[in-house]
A = this chain, B = another copy of it.
Amino acid sequence: MNGAESLVRTLVNAGVEVCFSNPGTSEMHFVTALDKVEGMRAILGLFEGAVTGMADGYGRMAEKPAATLLHLGPGLANGLANLHNARRASTPIVNIVGDHATHHAQYDAPLASDIMGFARPVSGWLHSSNSPKTVAADGARAVQAAMQAPGQIATLVLPADTAWLDAEHAAPALPVPGPAAVSGEAVDAAAKALKNGRKTAILVRGQALKEEGLTAAGRIAAASGARIMCDTFAPRLQRGAGRVAIERIPYFAEDIVTSLADIEQLILVGAKPPVSFFAYPGKPSWCTPEGTDIIYLAHAHEDGVAALDAVAQAIAAPKEPANVAPLQKPDLPQAGAALDQFTAGQIIGHFLPDNAIISDEAATSGIGAAIATTNAAPHDHLSLTGGAIGQGLPLATGAAVACPDRKVVCLHGDGGAMYTLQALWTQAREKLDVTNVIFANRSYAILNIELMRVGAENPGPKALSMLDLHNPELKWVEIGQGMGVESVRVETVEDFADAFSSAMKQKGPRLIEVMI
């Protein structure tokens, strides 16, 4: 057994089942080891930004890491933007980054670069294995690190000779401690605050945004009247009919301020106090009202679900949560209604099947669907956590790998979708059940708004042309078909309803370009 095989066996021992890959010469021994070991699925992406985004989508849904296989510094570099998003999502990922053989490093060959330097800003755990005798143990440590609550990116650099030289054996999986328990004091402080009569919001992030945590939060709301909120960009939120509906913090700073204006105390469960996404001249970045009492019930690495349960018990909350969303699928838009994000949202909410997964990078076109799915069938909503556009298509792809029995719907702006469009090819290759809805407004629409908001006044033609994607028009149907995905363009609500409902009924990848 060589080092590569000992590593693959170790990863499989530790529960890693999928390797999203874009290998090169230095990773060939790892690649051939994939055939020697049972239990590791290899999925090729034609660009590393697609590869890492898939690993993020997989990790958010599977709640354990996929591996990525990346080719030296540049391969890793291509994946960094989506690793940035994954870092913000606290997604467990194990990156395996091939490197030159240890004895080759001294020659500074063309592909040599500072791999550790590239990796450091996104990696919670980072190590280079310089011996085939230790790489199995390093792999076990990487998985353990990735699974450390709330989840993080572990990057293991694998020099080619570490992979090809003889190893001894695979390593056993290391124990993964769950999230830390919150202290009784923290529970007591939150429970006490909830009974003091002041206006309270509970801001939730992480595992507690799944059904169990939401139910506990809803029970607290029923007992105390507290508002239950989540970040604008929560990594994963369970919502829709039957779930406790939660307020999403608005995107713009002044809207956050308005939304929180009457709050006197803020209880944090795995979250941080909300701040504005960008800074704006003369506007505050800090959005919580002055004088608000901020209470940390659970930190991100602590067990937010248990904390909410404990608080619910401490305040003798009723068994039934407040704010449970009834099933009220939106009506279809009237015939002849204009096709826009709101009518498109109605159609999406109307036809969304039970237990779908929404990968949402629709940016300015996403509000319609967000509203219309509040009381739609229950679903998981995955958002753009780090602001690095180009997450949506690969995230959907990885989620579909993790959950082959669930429909995945990707809602995407056209500007962002161009970043990692290579993910469409992987959807076609793996026959993944993803419906990609591209909102084609032919612009970086958010920037037209931001241009004014940042006070960049009197934009001239050059400035405006930097936000405009009309010249030439992107043709998403051609692009999708070029990568093997059945694709259609729709310009009316009727055509979108037909295309979307058809896609919901059939398995396999689809692309719908929505002209708005």
**How distant is A467 from chain B, measured CB to nearest CB, in Å?**
8
Interface residues of A in 94-123 (CB under 8 A from B): 100-101, 103-104, 107-111, 113-114, 117-118, 120-122
Report the nearest B residue to A278, measured CB to CB: B25
Q: Would you give the 0/1 interface string for A261-287, flagging 1 where the beta carbon is closer than 8 Å to chain B?
A: 000000000001001111101000110
**For A100, what are the chain B residues with a Cβ–Cβ distance below 8 Å?**
278-279
How far apart sit A385 and B74, CA to CA, in the bound complex (Å)? 12
Q: Is the CB–CB distance between A32 and B458 below 8 Å?
A: yes
Q: How many residues of A contact B (CB 8 A)?
A: 102
**For A103, what are the chain B residues with a Cβ–Cβ distance below 8 Å?**
279, 285
**For A415, what are the chain B residues with a Cβ–Cβ distance below 8 Å?**
46
A456 in contact (CB, < 8 A): yes
Q: Is the CB–CB distance between A23 and B84 below 8 Å?
A: no
**For A290, what are the chain B residues with a Cβ–Cβ distance below 8 Å?**
none
Q: Is the CB–CB distance between A285 and B104 below 8 Å?
A: yes
Copies of the protein in its oligomer: 2
Interface residues of A in 386-432 (CB under 8 A from B): 386-388, 390, 415, 418-419, 421-422, 425, 428-429
Q: Is the CB–CB distance between A387 and B111 below 8 Å?
A: yes
Q: Is the CB–CB distance between B456 and A110 below 8 Å?
A: no
A463 in contact (CB, < 8 A): yes
Q: Is the CB–CB distance between B35 and A459 below 8 Å?
A: yes
How far apart sit A78 and B419, CA to CA, in the bound complex (Å)? 9
Decide yes or no: A456 and B32 within 8 Å by CB, A25-B278, A161-B279 being known contacts: yes
A80 in contact (CB, < 8 A): yes
Q: Is the CB–CB distance between B78 and A74 below 8 Å?
A: no
Interface residues of A in 1-57 (CB under 8 A from B): 21, 23-26, 28-29, 31-32, 34-36, 42, 44, 46-47, 49
**For A422, what are the chain B residues with a Cβ–Cβ distance below 8 Å?**
418-419
How far apart sit A24 and B450, CA to CA, in the bound complex (Å)? 9
A457 in contact (CB, < 8 A): yes
Residue from A36, A100, A118 having most chain B Cβ neighbours under 10 A: A118
**For A481, what are the chain B residues with a Cβ–Cβ distance below 8 Å?**
475, 478
**7 tightest A-B CB contacts, nearest first:** A35-B460, A472-B484, A74-B388, A478-B482, A101-B279, A479-B482, A104-B279
Residue pairs across A and B with Cβ atoms less than 8 A apart, 30 shown, are A23-B447, A26-B278, A31-B456, A32-B459, A34-B462, A35-B459, A42-B466, A44-B465, A74-B80, A74-B387, A74-B388, A78-B78, A78-B390, A100-B278, A100-B279, A101-B279, A107-B275, A109-B276, A109-B277, A110-B386, A113-B121, A114-B121, A160-B278, A161-B279, A161-B281, A164-B456, A418-B425, A428-B472, A475-B482, A475-B483
